[in-house]
Amino acid sequence: MTFKKGDLAVYPNHGVGEIVSIEEKALGADTVKCYVVNMVHSGSKVFVPVDSASRMGLRNVVEKTSAATVYSCLHERNPLLLKMNWNKRYRYFQDKMRTGKATDVASVVSDLLYLKRKKGLSYGEEKMLHDAEEILATELSIAEKSDKEAIRKKIYRLVESSLKTPAR
């Protein structure tokens, strides 16, 4: 998968960013071609080597037609998380966030909101919920060409409605 200047891309744990340039960077004795990605949420710049971008998880924003699949993940939750201590849960969520897949980010949001309602969250889990929610709402708002706050409300509405039904 190749990107060009101006393309939007999603980078794991950072969310949506715009490819602002493609630059040669000195890495020791080698020169590496990198995508320079300006992250929408944080404003930070991330350098992703072109040759390993796909392996590192840089991907296109989900298509509008795929949004339904992402939303369906908000109805699922892992009830086994209630039996894990916060440290083990946090590592589980980190692993899911590292994939960069919109469906995994949606699962993290759903699971964390479920846990928040059932037993409360640690400080780290609260921060992860905030970050995952921001990443997901930003990507879906771009995919659907919709207001981010409207998408955020839709996410909460879908999770809340699923919490009223038995876990799958």
- Do 69 and 144 lie in one domain? The reply is yes
Residue 152 lies in a domain: yes
Burial class (CB within 10 angstroms; exposed 0-12, middle 13-18, buried 19+) of 165: exposed
- Do 83 and 55 lie in one domain? The reply is no
CA angle 94, 131, 25 (to 5 degrees): 75
Q: Tell me, what CATH number does 138's domain have?
A: 1.20.58.1290
Cα distances (angstroms) measured from residue 49 to each of 17, 26, 27, 60: 15, 11, 11, 16
- Do 72 and 48 lie in one domain? The reply is no
pLDDT string in tens for the chain (168-residue length): 789 999 999 999 999 999 999 999 988 888 999 999 999 988 899 999 999 999 999 999 999 999 999 999 999 988 889 899 888 999 999 999 999 999 999 999 999 999 999 888 989 999 999 999 999 999 999 999 999 999 999 999 999 988 875 554
Q: Hunting for tokens 């590192």 — which residue is that?
A: 56
- Do 69 and 37 lie in one domain? The reply is no
Q: What's the pTM value of the predicted model, to 2 decimals?
A: 0.89
What would the pLDDT profile of 83-97 be if each residue is shown by its tens digit?
A: 998 889 999 999 999
* Token reading at 82: 């209630």
**123-144 vs 148-163: helix axis angle to the nearest 10?**
120
Residue 1 lies in a domain: no
What would the pLDDT profile of 109-140 be if each residue is shown by its tens digit?
A: 999 999 999 888 989 999 999 999 999 999 99
